[in-house]
Amino acid sequence: MFKRVLIANRGEIAIRIIRACREMGIETVSIYSVPDQHQLHVQMADQSICVGPAQAAYSYLNVASILSAAVLTNCDAIHPGYGFLSENPDFVRAVEACGITFIGPSADVIEQMGDKSAAKKCMESNGVPTVPGSDGPVATLEEAIKVCREIGFPVLIKASSGGGGRGMRRVDKEEEVRSAFDSARSEAKACFADDRVYIEKLILNPRHIEFQILADHLGNVVHLGERDCSIQRKNQKMLEESPSLFLDDDLREKMGTVAIRAAKACGYKNAGTVEFVVDKEKNFYFIEMNTRIQVEHPVTEMVTGIDLIKEQLRIASDLPLSVKQDDICMRGWAMECRINAEIPQKDFTPSSGEILFLHEPGGMNIRFDSLLYTGGEVSPFYDSMIGKIIVLGNNRLEAIRKLRCALEETIIEGVQTNSAFQYTILHDPDFIRGQFDTGFMEKKKDALLSLMVLEE
Amino acid sequence: MFKRVLIANRGEIAIRIIRACREMGIETVSIYSVPDQHQLHVQMADQSICVGPAQAAYSYLNVASILSAAVLTNCDAIHPGYGFLSENPDFVRAVEACGITFIGPSADVIEQMGDKSAAKKCMESNGVPTVPGSDGPVATLEEAIKVCREIGFPVLIKASSGGGGRGMRRVDKEEEVRSAFDSARSEAKACFADDRVYIEKLILNPRHIEFQILADHLGNVVHLGERDCSIQRKNQKMLEESPSLFLDDDLREKMGTVAIRAAKACGYKNAGTVEFVVDKEKNFYFIEMNTRIQVEHPVTEMVTGIDLIKEQLRIASDLPLSVKQDDICMRGWAMECRINAEIPQKDFTPSSGEILFLHEPGGMNIRFDSLLYTGGEVSPFYDSMIGKIIVLGNNRLEAIRKLRCALEETIIEGVQTNSAFQYTILHDPDFIRGQFDTGFMEKKKDALLSLMVLEE
Amino acid sequence: MDLKELESLIRLFDSLSLSELALKQGDFELNLKKEKQRTQDLGMIPAMVRESTNNTAEPSTDDNQTSGHIVKAPMVGVFYEAPSPKSPPFIKIGDQIAKGQVLCIIEAMKMINEVVSPVSGVVKEIFIANGELVEYDTPLIEIEVTGV
Amino acid sequence: MDLKELESLIRLFDSLSLSELALKQGDFELNLKKEKQRTQDLGMIPAMVRESTNNTAEPSTDDNQTSGHIVKAPMVGVFYEAPSPKSPPFIKIGDQIAKGQVLCIIEAMKMINEVVSPVSGVVKEIFIANGELVEYDTPLIEIEVTGV
């Protein structure tokens, strides 16, 4: 096992990783930017190194400074968390060139899974169902039109190297193909320096369901069940749960088996997530593989009792998985709600400032992973996600009630948050009945916002 | 199910009960004394009633005011928590006379189990092993000497209505019987207005192991495994865990069966605890039945996943148990450490004041049940226990490490606490190896205190 | 303003719930400021807001700010202004009352508890309506003291 | 106001929960202020105490309190005072240096990065010992500015 791990991240995930390391007797080194000097992840680590100024490009993304810090503090591994450098294959190669272990999959796997059309091709050739579409990048308009006719409208034209909706166009009829194809290509070029695009059938308002997998260096792969992440606003997840009401045992086993096949197909090692969309007829399609630990991983930890960060550390130090597929049993229903420092009524613009007062939620099966403390600072420079409340109930309704109570108890003064908005979601009849898909937020947002006003 | 429950308590247990009620959609009414106006249990309840001045005798023990509050706010049940009125049969009868449900066993059971020699007699006649001793109260010196000769020294002479070590005398040889007998009787008379005493064999430094049971009105009784509460200072528990390293599966099943028999013997209903002492040869003896929810109940909740307060509410409203014995499975190893506002270096004298800053421990499988908040008050009028940290690990060592980390993260400013002292226990080699009994603290206290000094 | 006056002014400011004081008198200028103090009531969101049963008419009980004596509830119960529904009330505003005189009753657990006046004086205000629930220490009646 | 009166006033201010006091009386002016109490560093118990790698000689970087210009580390790395172990150091205390002159090097990822002076002046202090790890923004050298 490692002796000292550098955590190339900040916020709640850095704290999460520090806790796992400490419990395993591993020393920790945090990195931070100048304004982050008093952040909790700096204070909790055994040692902390300032790696640059506020702008992430020169601090949390500053490969040279981060590697210098790791080498000079004698770290034998680096945990990247999520975001920042976590899915950057060049970083992984640089880490390994320094003789340091990267806690995650290999650079090649990250690279392959990061290239959407390469990932898709790999999955298809291994019998993992993918969204119908072009066979790799589409070079000409003629080819694009031909593909669209084959798979039927609506379709999405997507950048091969894309993400976050950029370089992406929806096309509903043939007349629109030309302009969408051209503009997607030029946006892809501008954003990712790669103008290759591919075409996919648009699955309207599907469920977003992902499977957590763990894979060790011996080729053992297990899945830890699904997470339903359909409650999203502009592709940002807001509320996640496990299991999903939408899956029965048959479908769960089928998708779990496919998720394991997907991981094996690309020679995956460490913790990862296989994302699927599921349509109304319960057809499921692979969309991408997340080659990192995810924000919503505690939902899976709650139902399985398995500490995913500790498993990551075990796997990276070439220990075999601590569990077999048959050992994994789910207990209860877990739900997570992300607390963002933002103003829902003002189109969710971020809010920052000093935390004047904090009261955390508490009680049985309530977990609050957060960077907050009374007197601490919510920085305007980074992600607005400042905490996550995760609960476990015996069933879905109990989980919803627990999450409501937890939100009621939570007091954060000094910045505005989305907690009252999340509270309204937990009272929405369609949400409670489980009748939702990725179109939920768009459809409901204004009605929920108006409820918030009434509450004040 | 109840519509509105009055919680006749304060502090962390009142908060614990409020949370359970809220999650079940039950309204809550708190009571408080004048200086407790800003306590968390007052702020978290739907409604709060001031029942008297600071002195508990006129507020938290003020039956007339509490019952008036319950009746006038239309409560249909009262939860007594632990301490205060929780084991007072007269209170239970008064509650029921008002047409309100008492959440706990019947007055008769509380009364019978509160009378140590009656409890013992009941257990003996039902095949529950008890500590060898006199057959009920001993009236004369001659009888006392005879009993002592039969069971062998050392013995304890104990007040029939006693508790907390008062009216109790240890006797090591025959010459001491007379003076011990006389002084125990007069102390018993002074403290409990009842000079009856009985005699018991003294089990030297046993393990203190208790079984949690649940019993419904249909006569279903289950046990939820054991808690090892051997780490005590002056009969006050400090650290509790479940399971106990001292029990193997055979002994666990045997003791669990006996615990269920004990509960059935007295016609028990609701949640209760059967306390045993276990000697070095693994002989176990019933010592008493606690007819209330206990401070350390979250340890059992952690390993079983069963919410004991919700079960109490279900049972009291005549719903059957939600679990059968076969459904109950233990997962991992739970450990609890009590945080007291006290100064270990000054013979554990209580400390009170305003909480200037609070930072709670957090992370996976960490629970912090507490009355604290930044700006809140630790009152000098009541118990010094201000919180409990409960952790769950995959095994005992992981639990110990988690608890250490949780203590390291916890910051309480404004009052002094025993947390650094608890931290030293978690590093004691005998504790880590599980080589301890109820004599642990007496033997180790000074050495542990000296470690604390080194740490500062 | 001499130092003694200044000191007493500062102490006064400190004791009250003011957060700022600015004083200018000729060439004398004084500015005092207090940090925002955390109110102890947390104010949890929606359903946590405590419903207060009888805060409708809660008077200031700060003895500095009132000349009268506040009689408070000695127990939890229901406040009655008269011995029976048909009787006239024990007292009304403006009445001259003697020390030891019955002011009202509080019914708790079907027991009638008379509340008697600890002072002699004139009834200045009655804070609670007939039949309302009162908590321990709830202010009931204010009496302008004329003798003890 | 004499010194004794002043002292008692200051002590009074300190003992109360005031955060600011400003007094003006004729040509006498007094301003008192208290720092907000909570330091941001939490100070967790035993093992949480952060080991600082290079705080041994951390100077005040408050520009109000020093006349010199503080040159800070532009990256994480190892501080070297000379181009090679056998060479003399680039600078020593008291040296007159020109803007653009090399002050030291920082080795990061086996790359040598020269740190040049942004000002002309005299070397007043060198805070870091040869071969020590420096973080981003670690104060390295103080220069008494004589020209920019």
| Residue C39: per-residue pLDDT | 43
Give chain C positions within 8 Å (CB) of D30: none
pTM: 0.87
Q: Which residue among B298, B363, B398 places its CB closest to the CB of A19? A: B363
CA distance A44 to A23: 13
DSSP element (H, E) containing A226: strand A221-233
Q: What is the pLDDT of residue C42?
A: 62
**Contact, B23 vs A398, CB < 8 A?**
yes
pLDDT in tens, A100-146: 999 999 999 999 999 887 898 999 999 999 999 888 889 999 999 99
Nearest to B367 among A22, A23, A364 (CB): A364
Residues in chain B: 456
How confident is the model over C32-60, as a mean pLDDT?
47
* Nearest CB partner across the interface for B368, out of A25, A358, A362: A362
- Calculate the alpha carbon distances from D37 to A375, B242, B270, B356 in Å: 10, 42, 49, 10
Residue the block writes with tokens 């963002």: A340
Residues A86, A16 contacting (CB under 8 angstroms): no
- Touching subunits of C (3+ CB pairs, under 8 Å) are A, B, D
Contacts of A453 in chain C (CB under 8 A): none
Residue pLDDT, tens place only, B240-279: 999 999 999 999 999 999 999 999 999 999 999 999 999 9
Could you say which of A292, A338, A367, A396 is catalytic? A292
Q: Is C148 exposed, middle or buried (0-12, 13-18, 19+ CB in 10 A)?
A: exposed
Q: Which helix (H) or strand (E) holds B367?
A: strand B366-370
Say how many C-beta atoms besides its own lie within 10 A of residue A383's C-beta: 18
Q: How far does the CA of residue A47 sit from the closest CA of chain D (Å)?
A: 5
* Nearest-by-CA chain D residue for B407: D45
- Pairing between strand D139-147 and C139-147? unpaired
Is B393 within 8 Å of B19 (Cβ atoms)?
no
Nearest to D18 among C14, C28, C29 (CB): C14
Q: How far apart are CA A313 and CA A293, in angstroms?
A: 12
The CATH fold of domain B4-103? Rossmann fold (3.40.50)
Which residues from chain B sit within 8 angstroms of residue C78, using beta carbons?
A: 72
First to last CA, chain D: 46
The beta-carbon neighbor of D137 closest among A34, A40, A69 is: A34
Cα–Cα distance for residue pair B390/A126, rounded to 1 Å:
46
C-alpha to C-alpha distance for B422 and B340, rounded to whole angstroms? 10
Q: Is B139 on the interface with D (CB under 8 A)?
A: no
How many contacts (CB atoms, under 8 Å) link C and D? 54
Contact yes or no for B362 and A370 at CB 8 A:
yes
B452 touches chain D (CB under 8 A): no
Is the reported ipTM for this assembly greater than 0.90? no
DSSP string, B311-365: HHHHHHTTPPPS--GGG----SEEEEEEEESEEGGGTTEE--EE--EEE---STT
**Contact predicate D135/D76, CB 8 Å:** yes
Chain C positions in Cβ-Cβ contact with residue D36 (cut-off 8 Å): 35
Q: Do A335 and A240 contact (CB within 8 A), yes or no? A: yes
How far is it, in rounded angstroms, from Cα B432 to Cα A94? 42
**Which pLDDT score is estimated for D148?**
54
Specify the CATH number for B207-451; select among 3.20.20.70, 3.20.20.140, 3.30.470.20, 3.60.15.10: 3.30.470.20
Contacts of B281 (CB under 8 A, 6+ apart): none
Using a CB-CB cut-off of 8 Å, the residues of chain B touching C42 are 40, 43, 373
Answer yes or no: do D24 and C30 touch at CB < 8 A. yes
SS3 category, B120 = helix
**CA pair distance D50, D59, nearest whole angstrom:** 19
* pLDDT (tens place) for every residue of chain A, 456 residues total: 999 999 999 999 999 999 999 999 999 999 999 999 999 999 999 999 999 999 999 999 999 999 999 999 999 999 999 999 999 999 999 999 999 999 999 999 999 999 887 898 999 999 999 999 888 889 999 999 999 999 989 999 988 887 767 889 999 999 999 999 999 999 999 888 899 999 989 998 899 999 999 999 999 999 999 999 999 998 899 999 999 999 999 999 999 999 999 999 999 999 999 999 999 999 999 999 999 999 999 999 999 999 999 999 999 999 999 999 999 999 999 999 999 999 999 999 999 999 999 999 999 999 999 999 999 999 999 999 999 999 999 999 999 999 999 999 999 999 999 999 999 999 999 999 999 999 999 999 999 999 886 554
Is A292 assigned a catalytic role? yes
* Contacts by residues A439-443 (CB-CB < 8 Å, ≥ 24 positions apart): A439/A204, A439/A205, A440/A230, A440/A231, A441/A231, A441/A232, A441/A233, A441/A238, A442/A233
How close does chain B come to C44, measured CA to CA in Å?
8
CA of D44 to nearest chain C CA: how many angstroms apart?
Answer: 23
User: Are B84 and B56 in contact, with CB atoms under 8 Å apart?
Assistant: yes
* D83-137 confidence digits (pLDDT tens): 998 999 999 999 999 999 999 999 988 888 999 999 999 999 999 999 999 999 9
**Do A358 and B366 count as a contact with CB atoms less than 8 A apart?**
no
Categorize the per-residue pLDDT at D42 as very low, low, confident or very high, splitting at 50, 70 and 90.
low
Domain covering B132-201, topology: Dna Ligase; domain 1 (3.30.1490)
- Count of A-D CB contacts under 8 Å: 75
- Measured in angstroms, the CA of A413 and the nearest CA of chain C are apart by 10
Q: Supply φ then ψ for residue B124, to 5 degrees.
A: -55, -45
| Contacts within 8 Å (CB) and 24+ apart, C4-13 | C6/C30, C6/D9, C6/D23, C7/D8, C7/D9, C7/D12, C10/D12, C10/D13, C10/D16, C10/D18, C10/D21, C11/D12, C11/D16, C13/D18
Residues of C in contact with B69 (CB under 8 A): 76, 135
The answer to whether D133 and D53 have CB atoms below 8 angstroms apart is: yes
Closest CA to A278 of A246, A235, A240: A246
Give catalytic residue positions of B: 292
Distance CA C74, CA B207 (A): 48
pLDDT given for residue A405 in this prediction? 96
Q: How far apart are CA C68 and CA B261, in angstroms?
A: 64
Strand partners, A242: A334
Q: Mean pLDDT, chain C, as a whole number?
A: 78
Parse chain A into domains and list their residue ranges: 4-103, 132-201, 207-451
Separation between Cα atoms, residue A94 and residue A152, nearest integer Å: 44
Return the biggest CA–CA distance within chain A. 62
- Provide the 10 A C-beta neighbour count for residue D4: 9
Instruction: Name residue, tokens 């003076």.
Output: B179
What is the pLDDT at residue D35?
Answer: 56
Rg (CA), chain C: 21
